[in-house]
Structure 1
Amino acid sequence: MMLRALTADLLKARRKGIWFLVFLGPLGLVAMQGLNFGLRYDYLIPRYKGRLWESLMDNIALFVPLALVLGATMVASMLANVEHTSNSWKQLLALPISKFSVYMAKLTLAIGMLCVSCLLLTVGTWTLGMLLGFGGEPAPIGELLRLGFWPLGGTLPILVLLLWLTVTFHNQALPVTLGITLGIGSLFASQLSEWFPLAWPQFAWVAPQAWVFASIGCATGIILSLLTAAHFSRKDVA
């Protein structure tokens, strides 16, 4: 049943411009650093010689949590708005598909879209490095993959919370405002306690044991997914 709901959500998402945002985020981050390195090439390349890939990834990583949280906000809101704007929740939930499957299908699609963004970020960062002449240094493919996917693991609880709010409330002002606030706050997350959930996307890259924060984020996200899905299953959605 969940596969049917997921397929339906995929078809509906094609007409809502959500995929444009999925591509815009990573390409925007890469373009920003392309401009940064391009304008200051003669200064930055000698300065970072011997660790060119590391410096490029560190510059991009500063903005990855912001992009992920804002991306999670917009993707969650737009997926929920497919039903909100057409007032089709009752018709959807009247189908022989459980509420749990409907909710988990939207969450799975949201996670999948952010995974596509993270993969594009990896490919885009590698492409930018090669265009900038980093080919003389071996490309750290594992670190390039970690650049997006580990912070995504740390972001998972925030995504689940935002999706739950967007499908629960017809008025999207609260979840969108909360998401934007959390996104801005993520820029200063390094000053927060490492056990504060908003800091997990940042620490999933910068911490010595970064994998711990990615893992905690994933585990917390799974628990929240089950709790919010159970709540959605019992709640009447107009």
Structure 2
Amino acid sequence: MIWRVLGADFAKIRKKMIWFLIFLGPLGVVALQGLNFALRYDYLTKLYADDLWGGVLYNTRLLAVPTLLMGLAIVISMIATVEHQTNAWKQVLALPVSRLSVYTAKLLLACTLLAASSTMLGAGTIVLGLALGYGADIPFGTILRMIYYPFLAAMPLVALQTWLSVIVKNQAIPLTVGITCAITSMFAAWYPDWMPLKWPYVADTWEKPLLFVAAGVAVGLAVYAAGAANFARKDVQ
């Protein structure tokens, strides 16, 4: 049942600007780093002479995480807006599907789009490194960790934004929360390790990154459960 609802949600966003944002995020990050390395090629090549690919990944990561956190708030809000703008929630909930399926499909749609965007970032990073002439010894494992660990560690924010965006009709509220989280996360280095805003930044660099990935997934599931329970009881307009 969930997959039928998810398929319908994909059809609803077929001609929406959401797809443009999914491409824009990783493209913007790679383009900015391409400009960075083009303008400072000699300096950066000498600076990272011992690990050229490591230099590319480090600089890409600095932009990728805040872009992910900002992008997830915007993308999830746009997904929910499809129903909010047309006042279609009552029609959707009148269909012979459970509220849990409807809510879960929204979250799965957001996760699928964000995972696709992260995958494009990985591909773009590989193209950038090759274009800079840093050799064909591509660190695929490190790249996979760079793009997917922060995404998984950010699951609490994905679940929270889905909850707020679906429940609240005025999308200025969830957008404000999401953008505020993205901005304040830039100071994550000073946050204690238990704060979810820090987890995407350290998920692929810490001594035990899988702890933060596991924590992100676990807390994300807990927030999802709370949101689903709230959605099941609340009248959504």
User: TM-score normalized by structure 1?
Assistant: 0.97
The one-letter code of the counterpart of 1:190 is A
The one-letter code of the counterpart of 2:7 is T
The one-letter code of the counterpart of 1:4 is R
Provide the rounded CA distance (Å) in 1 between the counterparts of 2:59 and 2:190. Answer: 18
Which digits, 9 at most, give the CA deviation of each residue in 1:133-157, with x for residues without a partner?
0116x21101101111000011110
Provide the rounded CA distance (Å) in 2 between the counterparts of 1:139 and 1:56. Answer: 11
Q: Secondary structure at the match of 1:205?
A: coil
Q: Secondary structure at the match of 1:176?
A: helix
1:231 Cα deviation (Å)? 1.4
Instruction: Show the 5 A alignment for 1:190-209.
Output: 190-209=189-208
Question: Kindly, what percent of the aligned residue pairs are identical?
Answer: 47
Q: Number of residue pairs matched?
A: 237
Q: List runs of 5+ in structure 1 lacking aligned partners.
A: none
Contact 1:61 1:205 in 2 (8 A): no
The one-letter code of the counterpart of 1:227 is A
Which digits, 9 at most, give the CA deviation of each residue in 1:153-204, with x for residues without a partner?
1111001101100110100111101111111111111111111111010111
1:47 Cα deviation (Å)? 1.9
Contact 1:65 1:186 in 2 (8 A): no
1:214 Cα deviation (Å)? 1.1
CA RMSD between the two structures: 1.0
Q: Secondary structure at the match of 1:171?
A: coil
State the partner residue of 2:104: 104
Provide the rounded CA distance (Å) in 1 between the counterparts of 2:105 and 2:96. Answer: 14
The one-letter code of the counterpart of 1:97 is V
The answer to whether 1:90 aligns with 2:90 is: yes
Which digits, 9 at most, give the CA deviation of each residue in 1:39-82, with x for residues without a partner?
11111112211201111111111122211111110111000000
The answer to whether 1:223 aligns with 2:222 is: yes
State the partner residue of 1:70: 70
State the partner residue of 1:161: 160
Provide the rounded CA distance (Å) in 1 between the counterparts of 2:139 and 2:61. Answer: 15
Provide the rounded CA distance (Å) in 2 between the counterparts of 1:190 and 1:205. Answer: 14
Instruction: Show the 5 A alignment for 1:114-193.
Output: 114-135=114-135, 138-193=137-192
Instruction: Show the 5 A alignment for 1:43-82.
Output: 43-82=43-82
Provide the rounded CA distance (Å) in 1 between the counterparts of 2:143 and 2:214. Answer: 18
Q: Secondary structure at the match of 2:95?
A: coil
Provide the rounded CA distance (Å) in 2 between the counterparts of 1:145 and 1:206. Answer: 12
1:95 Cα deviation (Å)? 0.4
Which digits, 9 at most, give the CA deviation of each residue in 1:94-150, with x for residues without a partner?
0001110000001001000010011111111011000000116x2110110111100
Provide the rounded CA distance (Å) in 2 between the counterparts of 1:3 and 1:56. Answer: 38
Provide the rounded CA distance (Å) in 2 between the counterparts of 1:50 and 1:86. Answer: 56
Provide the rounded CA distance (Å) in 1 between the counterparts of 2:214 and 2:19. Answer: 27
Provide the rounded CA distance (Å) in 2 between the counterparts of 1:50 and 1:116. Answer: 31
The one-letter code of the counterpart of 1:6 is L
Q: Runs of 4+ in structure 1 displaced over 6 angstroms?
A: none
Q: List runs of 5+ in structure 2 lacking aligned partners.
A: none
The one-letter code of the counterpart of 2:130 is M
State the partner residue of 1:3: 3
The one-letter code of the counterpart of 1:86 is T
The one-letter code of the counterpart of 1:153 is L
1:205 Cα deviation (Å)? 2.3
